[in-house]
Amino acid sequence: MNLGTSMASAHVTGVAAQIWGAKPDLLKNKDIRKILDKTATKLGKKRTYGYGLVDALKAFDYIWE
């Protein structure tokens, strides 16, 4: 089983790329980071669990509101 940031980074990067691809002229890096943070499922304390579990569906719902 693979765990940790090395596994998560590929997933988060993929979702970030899809979000940017959906609205490339409207979104900057800081906007995408904010969207990912706001739509992630929180798992606990940031010190232990980071920013949470990326949720692509919530992220896309957020940008199309």
Which phi and psi (to 5°) does residue 20 adopt?
-65, -40
| Domain residue ranges in the chain | 5-63
pLDDT digits (tens, 9 = 90+) for 45-59: 877 777 889 999 999
Per the rule left: phi > 0, alpha: psi between -120 and 50, beta: everything else, 5 is: alpha
Can you give the pLDDT at residue 3?
A: 62
Q: Tell me if the pTM is above 0.85.
A: no
